[in-house]
Homo-oligomer: A and B are copies of this chain.
Amino acid sequence: MQVSETNEIKWSEVEKQVAQQAFQAAYERETVALIQQIRDSAGVVAKLEDIWQLHDFLSARRHELDGKYDYDYSSLILVFARLIQDGWLNIGELQGLEADKLSKVAALSRML
């Protein structure tokens, strides 16, 4: 018999679908924006210092993205809040999640 932790948030199958779709949409938007940004930055590198600046930027973004897009139901509320706060996701795209989750996401996104 599996014992759930008491503070574990349950996700119905429908909610999981909504979450995965929203997650994927945000990921694609942020990725496309990053690719464009790299193309733009790299097109104007003129000296070695510019290249190392690009490298520093990529190191930071990689670290951030690796952390942010770790799809895990236990941290999804927080992830969605950050994505909304950063403009990669609209709260409307989470319609289908239960009201309690939606209000948590909304409240957290205003606090970040």
Residues of A within 8 A of B (CB): 31, 34-35, 38-39, 41-43, 45-48, 50-52, 54-55, 58-59, 62, 65
Q: Is the CB–CB distance between B45 and A39 below 8 Å?
A: yes
Partner of A46, one of B35, B41, B42, B55: B35
Which residues of chain B are within 8 angstroms of A45 by Cβ–Cβ distance?
35, 38-39
- Interface on chain A toward B: helix, strand, loop, or mixed SS? helix
A31 and B43 within 8 A (CB)? no
The complex places the Cα of A58 from the Cα of B89 at a distance, in Å, of 31
Query: In the complex the two chains form, is B47's CB within 8 Å of A35's CB?
Result: yes
Give 29 CB contacts A-B under 8 Å: A31-B47, A34-B51, A35-B45, A35-B46, A35-B47, A35-B48, A35-B50, A35-B51, A38-B42, A38-B45, A38-B51, A38-B54, A39-B42, A39-B43, A39-B45, A41-B42, A42-B42, A42-B43, A43-B43, A48-B65, A51-B58, A52-B58, A52-B62, A54-B58, A55-B55, A55-B58, A55-B59, A58-B58, A59-B59
